[in-house]
Structure 1
Amino acid sequence: MPRTYPADIAWDLALPRETLVDVLAGSVAAHADKPALEFMGRQWRYGELGAMVDRIAGGLRALGVKPGDRVGLCLPNTHFFVASYFAVLKVGGIVVNFSPLMVADEIGYQAADSGTSVMLTLDLAPLLPRVLQVLDRDGPLKRVVVCRFAEALPFVKGVMFSLLKRKSLAAIPIGDARVSRFVELLAAAPLATPPVISPEGLAVLQYTGGTTGRPKGVMLTHANLCANLRQVQAWCGTSTEERARMMAVIPFFHVFAMTTAMNVGIGWGSEIIMQPRYEKAAVLSAIRRRRPTMLPGVPTLFKALLDAGATPADLASVRACISGGAPLPLALKHEFEAKSGAKLVEGYGLTEGSPVCFCNPLRGENREGTIGLPLPLMRAEIRSLEDPARALPDGERGELCLQGPNIMAGYWKRPEETKAAMTADGWLRTGDVGIMDADGYVTLVDRIKDLILVSGFNVYPRVIEEALYAHPAIAAVCVIGIPDQRQGECPAAYIELRPGTELDEAGVRAFLKDRLSSIEMPRLIEFRETLPRTAVGKLSKKELREQPHMHA
């Protein structure tokens, strides 16, 4: 247990032995008449959600889905996703999350690697045609179930969408035995004899972002995911009223949203207010209409809400905003809290941790610039970069290593990579360089793979990025290492400015002069209209690294 811990949180949390199917069943029994899901004005209660899951599970069984089969979800945040996720688990299947933004080759690779045999998706262009391309290939995918987007909407909105947005819809193949419709699953008899599911059984194959090489399937068990949702619940420790309404803007197919917005929300019996993607007007309208109390997000979401003009009145109902997925710039935290009146705390996690592992306290000391303290039952050590078996004393820089009930079972069909990710004594190597202080708070310095070696000296991109974020004209920044003939590598900074501001290279250098050492000063400064981002809205360095670079 860390030396300092919030007084109202038990680090040695007692975990029930449960599956995600049990979690849903508990909330359906306790909150049958309470709102469970809300989408663009349409609402489903917990009793309705439970009945829907039972019928979809029966429909999947009729399609031949057996325990252990991998079923893909290539869906945005809708009731289709939530109900299908729990139905796949109820029938004993393993959920494989696919981003709807993937191109056909990416979908094909992940389907082949995971052995996904059935895929649920939407009738939107260009999404459905991409999935159908993969269906036509010689691979494991044998059946596609198509959900009609209009059927997620209130009746009048659904009719209007079908009429006015016809160009955004893709034709559903008629007469193709490999293609079913979601309504056919809903018409099935409820699953009569659900299989016995072990907490140690696989629940989700969650593919990593693939920033280095091909994405890997992270094996997350029911026990892993249930532990993490209970850890997050214990950390938040909020009252029944405070956890009443969960705002889900970040996509469920991403592990952070899957746990913090969906699984935690279902476990609490919250109403989950779903948005299929970030659209300024729609998100602000939903916030004003449903008054959410919890808002998990990535830094770019909180930045976007500020840019959209969200006021303290809009966000008055929000009790907690938890930022994850990427480092939270301090300037953004201060600006968001000042303008919104809501508390914004930074957490930390990774897919291999289901994902949340650290968070700053919502009550108690929020130590700025740190990722906070480990969640209940999480053990954390800073290990030597040269010898991962050796724990380092407080204040020394090394690799953050973790142990806990939420740590993955391994990488799907990659025993060597699983072995490489773990220390000899069974701790997960995160690949993140950090420093732990005397109270157990951890400051992350950078990713081991992001380190820039300038004439043999370690330069940490995050230090440069934090210095740049302090400039009022800078909206977003990515720093990477590029080849340099004299020094081996040098830092390159790619900058996205706030709308209506101006800044040039000379201005950046003058601003950084007293903030960075000479080896940290970027050799290349480039302004971009927009920086590359991942599907969840996280800044992505992968595309920048793939560009040809050489600094003379």
Structure 2
Amino acid sequence: MTEGLTESIAAALDGYGDRPCIEFDGRWYSGHEVAAYGTAITSGLRAAGVPDDAPVGLIVRNRLPHAAAIAGFLAAGRTVAMIYSFQSAEAVAGDVEKLNLAAVVADAEDWAEPVVHAAQRIGSAGLAISLHAPIVSAVGRLERRDTSRRHAPAEPGIALKILTSGTTGPPKRQSIPTHVLSRTVFSVTAGERASEGAPPEFAYWQFGGIGVCQLIAGIYNGRRIAMLERFSVEGWVDAVRRHRVARAGVQPAVIRMLLDADVPKEDLASLEFLISASGPLDPETRDEFEAKYGVPIRLAYGATEFAGSLCAWTDDMIAEFGHSKRNSVGRALPDTALRIVDADTGAELPAGQPGLLEARVAPIGPDWIRTTDIASIDTDGFVTLHGRADGAINRGGFKVQPEEVRRVLISHPAVRDACVVGVPDARLGQVPFAAIEVEPGRDTPPDEELKDLVRQELPVYTVPVAFAAVDELPRNPALKVSLPAVAALYPGG
């Protein structure tokens, strides 16, 4: 990219003009309509006494005004910190106070009294955004920033502060520099610009986190963007069918949901392939989906702190290695170096040996960044994931890998999905506990039957001490299973 991201986004927004830019809730909004939000927000912040370089907060939702606000902030070069909307008003208020920003932007419905009071206490200005006129307005009692207060300083070079997926607890913020965000576009598009008349960019992952990559890549490349407020099988399939979507990134849970909904094959006929990311996809589900729909699934790997993917498959790789290395997430992207190290010594491990994955991404810097993922790299450079080091359960000194236990449990014909977590134990420190989704129409397997199944495949210390049967595993808005919510199901808690 020869231009800076800010200039590129601004030029791309301007380039839409009266052409369709974003589809939301069944209606296309033109480039002019989308850009109007950025213009109105800039005007509102200046009227409130907020400096042009001051970072602001966005209580983020996957709605047209929020997408337009993000695009406007990027085009203006203003840092925006995402605030999680899927929490109580009191928790949102706590985030607002902690961030101590000069201004906060939010949907009118998110300006609950606790949030307004929090902004008042720190002297923040507040703007409400809406689909209806006025599209941007000052929030009562928050019309002006209290200039006698010190707010968070400008952060030159930081584009976004996005949220992690919140699997193990409340989402955390990751600062993404502008130049690093530029690699997001490459990791999402593989450097390709879509041809005229190509299907729109399909954006349904949550904008507060890594899902914002889809939005940014679409605008940067001047593509139309079809967005969903949140995932539903009906809405996702409708968008794929209407827009003839050829490829899309999905969470593993989506693949299972599509199968369970028995979506007609013809509704997915436009798909060339799906990319599964953000968590492990069990081979049985992958095989079932590919056999039913004839749509290949490619595995990929990325993380919030890297602003996109680290590994991917190309067509050439698929042609040569697609069958023999089917369970790999591909090779490192061109700007990325990967290695596997021993968790205790940090020494690099030989090809094929599992250990902690470390990455060095050129736009981020020269340092190796250690992940919490256990992986191996073969002699051809292909990466295979084996679980998460921070998810290991320490049962009296014995390490239990939850994903290994889950794989055994879902092999039971009555178990559709499972999640294994560590729960406190007075004698051993931690013990494994499992929640299972039961296949519709099947009886819940007895605990002893499930324990015997695990004993047959894994060491005895991996056997869960208890099981809870649920209709659906508790998931967060990113469609990842919430580990704290699963742990709360433990009957001995």
Asked if Structure 1 and Structure 2 have the same fold, meaning a TM-score greater than 0.5 normalized by the shorter chain, the answer is yes
**2:20 pairs with 35, 49, 65, which one?**
35
**2:356 pairs with 399, 409, 413, which one?**
399
Deviation, structure 1 residue 229? 1.5
Is 2:299–2:329's contact at 8 Å kept on the other side of the alignment? Answer: yes
Task: Name 1:379's counterpart in structure 2.
Answer: 337
Moved more, 47-56 or 443-452: 47-56
Moved more, 49-58 or 425-434: 49-58
Matches within 5 A, 1:319-468: 319-361=272-314, 364=318, 365-366=321-322, 367-388=325-346, 390-405=347-362, 407=364, 426-468=367-409
Matched, 1:227 2:183: yes
TM-score, normalised with respect to structure 2: 0.85
Is 1:66–1:91's contact at 8 Å kept on the other side of the alignment? Answer: no
Deviation, structure 1 residue 441? 2.0
Q: What's the secondary structure of 1:116's corresponding residue?
A: coil
Q: Deviations over 1:485-517 (max 9, x none)?
A: 665543222111233332313443454454333
Q: What's the secondary structure of 1:121's corresponding residue?
A: strand
Q: Partner amino acid for 2:345?
A: D
Instruction: Summarize the Cα distance change of 1:149–1:288 in structure 2 as closer, same or farther, 3 Å threshold.
Output: same
Task: Name 1:193's counterpart in structure 2.
Answer: none
Q: What's the secondary structure of 2:468's corresponding residue?
A: strand
Q: Partner amino acid for 1:537?
A: L
TM-score, normalised with respect to structure 1: 0.77
Cα distance in 1, alignment partners of residues 358 and 138 from structure 2? 52
Deviation, structure 1 residue 49? 3.2
Q: Deviations over 1:148-168 (max 9, x none)?
A: 356799xxxxxxxxxxxxxxx
Q: Deviations over 1:380-439 (max 9, x none)?
A: 111121123x211112222111111454x9xxxxxxxxxxxxxxx821111222222212
Instruction: Summarize the Cα distance change of 1:499–1:370 in structure 2 as closer, same or farther, 3 Å threshold.
Output: same
Task: Name 1:413's counterpart in structure 2.
Answer: none
Cα distance in 1, alignment partners of residues 66 and 239 from structure 2? 19
Q: Partner amino acid for 1:508?
A: L
**2:212 pairs with 245, 258, 272, which one?**
258
Instruction: Summarize the Cα distance change of 1:537–1:210 in structure 2 as closer, same or farther, 3 Å threshold.
Output: closer
Moved more, 526-535 or 427-436: 526-535
Task: Name 2:461's counterpart in structure 1.
Answer: 519
Instruction: Summarize the Cα distance change of 1:281–1:244 in structure 2 as closer, same or farther, 3 Å threshold.
Output: closer
Is 2:393–2:401's contact at 8 Å kept on the other side of the alignment? Answer: yes
Is 1:121–1:147's contact at 8 Å kept on the other side of the alignment? Answer: yes
Cα distance in 1, alignment partners of residues 414 and 12 from structure 2? 46
The CA RMSD measured in Å over matched residues stands at 3.3
Task: Name 1:99's counterpart in structure 2.
Answer: 84
Cα distance in 2, alignment partners of residues 287 and 399 from structure 1? 37
Deviation, structure 1 residue 479? 0.9
Task: Name 1:312's counterpart in structure 2.
Answer: 265
Cα distance in 2, alignment partners of residues 101 and 323 from structure 1? 24
Cα distance in 2, alignment partners of residues 302 and 151 from structure 1? 39
Is 2:105–2:127's contact at 8 Å kept on the other side of the alignment? Answer: yes
Matched, 1:178 2:142: yes
Cα distance in 2, alignment partners of residues 502 and 343 from structure 1? 32
Deviation, structure 1 residue 42? 0.9
Matched, 1:532 2:489: no
**2:130 pairs with 148, 159, 173, which one?**
148
List alignment gaps of at least 5 residues for structure 1. 1-14, 154-171, 181-196, 410-424
Is 1:371–1:443's contact at 8 Å kept on the other side of the alignment? Answer: yes
Instruction: Summarize the Cα distance change of 1:284–1:523 in structure 2 as closer, same or farther, 3 Å threshold.
Output: same
Matched, 1:217 2:158: no
Cα distance in 1, alignment partners of residues 454 and 196 from structure 2? 46
Matched, 1:18 2:11: no
Cα distance in 2, alignment partners of residues 175 and 428 from structure 1? 42
Cα distance in 1, alignment partners of residues 328 and 430 from structure 2? 28
Q: What's the secondary structure of 2:235's corresponding residue?
A: helix
Is 2:64–2:131's contact at 8 Å kept on the other side of the alignment? Answer: no
Is 2:71–2:216's contact at 8 Å kept on the other side of the alignment? Answer: no
Is 1:242–1:294's contact at 8 Å kept on the other side of the alignment? Answer: no
Q: What's the secondary structure of 2:262's corresponding residue?
A: coil
Is 2:468–2:489's contact at 8 Å kept on the other side of the alignment? Answer: no
Task: Name 1:419's counterpart in structure 2.
Answer: none
Q: Partner amino acid for 1:523?
A: V
Cα distance in 1, alignment partners of residues 290 and 196 from structure 2? 21
Instruction: Summarize the Cα distance change of 1:274–1:465 in structure 2 as closer, same or farther, 3 Å threshold.
Output: same
Q: What's the secondary structure of 2:84's corresponding residue?
A: coil
Q: Partner amino acid for 2:199?
A: A
Task: Name 1:65's counterpart in structure 2.
Answer: 50
